[in-house]
């Protein structure tokens, strides 16, 4: 069983490295987009390209957060994801970054639609609305999950002990 655990930890490490590589590629792409935009001058087109570069950076943050979460939860902690406390914390780490990234992407899409094609504004609004629904759903999940956590106080204590591995 120990060998299987190491195998899965190695796979998780590879996935975390791939997310990190993707984040670095997005950061470099964002730098290129912003740099070329700034060399072109300071006008509305430059502003739009800089906003798009911010969208790429938001995606890079998501990829880095995924890499960090995978590394911390699956490699460092070797956490058991079945406890309600661990599920809430694991899910929350992903969702906080995803919600922020989607909100930024919604703003980027809104600015782009206003500047280029108003018919795309419906899709931007749908993205912003869906982000709001995701945020509200996450809040409901946390609220309902807290009741389950109260039934297992030892799981919260175990999660806090696992957190000390990261200090």
User: Which backbone phi and psi does 43 adopt, to 5 degrees?
Assistant: -145, -170
Range of the domain at 150: 2-166
Per-residue confidence in pLDDT tens, the chain, 167 aa: 678 878 888 999 999 999 999 999 999 999 999 898 888 888 877 888 888 888 899 889 889 988 988 888 777 766 555 566 777 777 887 788 889 888 988 988 898 888 888 999 999 999 999 999 999 999 998 888 777 667 666 666 666 666 665 55
Cα three-residue angle 60-66-72, rounded to 5 degrees: 135
pLDDT of residue 159: 63
Concatenating the DSSP letter of every residue in 34-91 gives HHHHHHH-SSHHHHHHHHHHHHHHHHHHHHHHHHHHHIIIIIIS---TTSHHHHHHHH
CA-based nearest residue to 34, from 57, 13, 61:
57
pLDDT of residue 89: 76
pLDDT of residue 20: 96
pLDDT of residue 144: 83
Q: What is the count of structural domains for the chain?
A: 1
């Amino acid at each position: 069983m120990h060998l299987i655990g190491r195998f899965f930890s190695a796979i998780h490490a590879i996935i975390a490295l791939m997310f990190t590589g993707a984040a670095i590629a997005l950061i470099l792409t964002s730098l290129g987009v912003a740099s070329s935009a700034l060399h072109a001058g300071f006008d509305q087109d430059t502003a739009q390209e800089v906003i798009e570069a911010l969208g790429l950076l938001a995606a890079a943050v998501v990829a880095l957060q995924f890499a960090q979460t995978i590394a911390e939860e699956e490699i460092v902690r070797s956490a058991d994801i079945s406890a309600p406390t661990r599920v809430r914390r694991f899910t929350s780490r992903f969702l906080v970054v995803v919600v922020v990234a989607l909100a930024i992407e919604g703003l980027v899409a809104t600015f782009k639609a206003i500047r280029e094609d108003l018919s795309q504004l419906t899709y931007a609004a749908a993205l912003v609305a869906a982000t709001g629904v995701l945020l509200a759903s996450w809040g409901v999940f946390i609220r309902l999950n807290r009741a389950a956590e109260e039934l297992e106080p030892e799981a919260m204590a175990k999660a806090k002990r696992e957190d000390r591995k990261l200090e």
